[in-house]
Amino acid sequence: MEEERFAMKIRAAGKQMQEAEEDIARAEAQEKMTYAKAMVQAEVGGNKTAAAQMRYADEQGDVFNARLNRGVAKGKLASAKAEFRACEIEFERWRSEKASNRLERRAYSA
């Protein structure tokens, strides 16, 4: 059953998309928490203005890593979407081929 094979591939790609969306949500939450902690550390360290605190936070390695993790998660989502689209295209090609074969059979059997 080729239809079921395509359905399984689309379900697997959908699962990848779900996991990638969850990874993005986690990465964004982690980034916000890390950034907020860095800004508090900046305030404790004597940086009074919001701009100085933001600059301090931007310079921290933990904030950089959190942003990097968010980018990686977004890349996983893009990859999952591409995989899903590839499955759809493969199915559409298969369906068109089957329809063409049916038309040919009708034309030559009648």
Total residues found in the chain within this entry:
110
- The answer to whether 31 touches 69, Cβ cutoff 8 Å, is yes
pLDDT of the residue at 110 = 62
- The answer to whether 31 touches 67, Cβ cutoff 8 Å, is yes
pLDDT per residue of the chain (110 residues) written in tens, 0 to 9 = 788 888 898 899 999 999 999 999 999 999 999 999 999 999 999 999 999 999 999 999 999 999 999 999 999 999 999 999 999 999 899 999 999 999 888 888 86
- Predicted TM-score (pTM) of the model is 0.77
pLDDT of the residue at 77 = 95
